[in-house]
Amino acid sequence: MQPEFESLVTLKKAIAEKKVSAVDAVTAYLERIGQHDESIHAFNELYGDYAMQRAAQVDAGQITGKLAGVPIAIKDNLCTPYGHTTCSSKMLANFKAPYMATAVGKLEAEGAIIIGKTNLDEFAMGSSTENSAFGMTKNPWDTTRVPGGSSGGSAAAMAADFAAATLGSDTGGSIRQPAALCGVCGLKPTYGKVSRFGLVAFASSLDQIGPFTRSVEDAALLMDVICGHDPKDSTSANLPASDHTLELHKPIENLRIGIAKQYMAEGNDPAVTKAVEDAIEVYKSLGATIVEVDLPHTEYGIPVYYIVATAEASSNLARYDGVHYGHRTEKPEDLYDLYAASRAEGFGDEVKRRIMLGTYALCSGYYDAYYNRALKVRRLIKQDFDKAYEQCDAILCPTTTGVAFKAGDKTDDPLAMYLNDVYTVNANLAGIPGITIPAGLSDDGLPVSIQLYGNAYEDAKLLRIAQMFQTATSHHTLRPKLG
């Protein structure tokens, strides 16, 4: 692609300076998608006509804003009043949302052009995008491998340069893990920074919308646009919209980077370990102090997460009843059958598995042993972070234990798939922000990453710390060669 397309910030500038027209920008991405998405399958749906129409309006000066003319793709669990919102589920295959997700509305209000919706694990449940009812997405670096999940389509679209930026959602790592496996930046903001209104609910106390971008600078710009209080989401934080770009390039003085031994397990792929060790050296060279922090409850994150997330999911997904929206079975025998057959036909295996696990954890008799105990351990995990942030500004750790795995490798073993999230779920349980940034390639030419955790509501500071790394390195400019 032309140099103007290097990042969202460069493209936005080129469009503003009329070096590239918005119509040309949209055309360039649509052509690239047309050429390559058959082998990647990042998209569920494209909005070519709508995007071209909006681009023409940008070029005519009728649409303006911080993101005027910039093509962006969004995960197909974000509602828009145009097109379908399917969650990659047979249940919602024909669903047309009657309203706009707040985060997407904010993008459009600043002139962004939504070019399409990206594939995901059904209802955002999965770590490989293999659970999509419409076929898996492939990793642009190696199409025999998974892009990660659940926002695999958004990560792959970003890696393949199918849009200037994409949005995803992160409940247990669904932005950061695919960002790591696809070699792009992915940010899960602090819980409550971005309104969840119009994000199809999976686990309401964990879900958070965030950006996939080429650079940290791009992520900061998108955060400025999508964050802020929303009366339509009572869990959105009632704080003034913070500025993530203002001081982005100002390094943090006396920076303290925390390292937790619990994240540096021997089972990590050597390429992952090396990426973190190299990053430690980068931060040292920038004057940071490395501090050892203790997060003793880390290993309990997965069991807590798979109770809390599934319990909330079992409740959230009760709304799919075959009556109000979604799939309905053909000839129900009775009322029970209307529900049970519609749901059995509409939901895929993993969604069913999680609904049942969550229902089980909430059953009387098991509630105390599972759900209530999980909530108590969740607090212990949060307290670990509270203590750690007394000693450091950010925690540096891997996002994943390894690089992108082969398609089909873990589909028969739900537990193995769940363990993918071992380094990401705790941020969701504690509500803190986490960012994944590219950190080079493995010997096999696959992306490796590092992850930085920040303290709650310190997203702007976290981005500044991540920017320090990107100013000193060039890993984020690496791109896959598409076949």
Residue from 93, 100, 375, 482 touching other proteins (CB under 8 A): that is 375
Instruction: Write down the least CB distance from residue 137 to other proteins, Å.
Output: 24
**Taking contact as CB under 8 A, which single stretch among the options 147-155, 279-287, 319-327, 394-402 is the one that binds other proteins?**
319-327
C-alpha distances out from residue 415 to 94, 164, 302, 350, 369, Å: 31, 35, 10, 11, 20
**Site for other proteins contains 66 (CB under 8 A):** no
Residue from 340, 391, 401, 478 touching other proteins (CB under 8 A): that is 340
**Site for other proteins contains 382 (CB under 8 A):** yes
Report the interhelical angle of 459-472 vs 216-226 (nearest 10°). 160
Question: Residue 226 CA to chain centroid, in angstroms?
Answer: 14
**Site for other proteins contains 196 (CB under 8 A):** no
Specify the residue, 145 or 354, whose C-beta has the smaller distance to other proteins. 354
Structure tokens of 360?
């089980």
Instruction: Write down the least CB distance from residue 278 to other proteins, Å.
Output: 32
Q: How far apart are CA 164 and CA 218, in angstroms?
A: 9
Secondary structure (3-state) at 127: coil
Instruction: Write down the least CB distance from residue 87 to other proteins, Å.
Output: 14
Instruction: Write down the least CB distance from residue 236 to other proteins, Å.
Output: 9
Considering only residues 431 through 450, tell me which ones interact with other proteins, judged by CB under 8 A.
431
Considering only residues 217 through 236, tell me which ones interact with other proteins, judged by CB under 8 A.
231, 234-235
**Taking contact as CB under 8 A, which single stretch among the options 63-71, 181-189, 294-302, 473-481 is the one that binds other proteins?**
294-302
Q: How far apart are CA 291 and CA 258, in angstroms?
A: 5
State the catalytic residues. Answer: 75, 150, 174
Q: How far apart are CA 467 and CA 282, in angstroms?
A: 12
**Site for other proteins contains 386 (CB under 8 A):** no
Considering only residues 395 through 424, tell me which ones interact with other proteins, judged by CB under 8 A.
414-415, 418
Which residue, among 48, 77, 65, has the nearest Cα to 12 in the 3D structure? 65
Q: What is the β-pairing status of strands 71-75 and 165-170?
A: parallel
Kind plus residue range of the DSSP H or E element containing 382:
helix 373-388
Residue from 98, 266, 443, 481 touching other proteins (CB under 8 A): that is 98
**Taking contact as CB under 8 A, which single stretch among the options 152-160, 256-264, 366-374, 444-452 is the one that binds other proteins?**
366-374
**Taking contact as CB under 8 A, which single stretch among the options 139-147, 329-337, 399-407, 468-476 is the one that binds other proteins?**
329-337
CB 188 within 8 A of CB 437: no
**Taking contact as CB under 8 A, which single stretch among the options 43-51, 137-145, 333-341, 475-483 is the one that binds other proteins?**
333-341
* 2 backbone dihedrals φ, ψ, rounded to 5°: -65, 155
Q: How far apart are CA 422 and CA 173, in angstroms?
A: 9
**Site for other proteins contains 372 (CB under 8 A):** yes
Q: What is the β-pairing status of strands 447-453 and 434-441?
A: antiparallel
Length of the chain, in residues: 483
Specify the residue, 26 or 456, whose C-beta has the smaller distance to other proteins. 456
Residue from 86, 190, 298, 400 touching other proteins (CB under 8 A): that is 190
**Site for other proteins contains 237 (CB under 8 A):** yes
Which residue, among 44, 12, 186, 30, has the nearest Cα to 112 in the 3D structure? 12
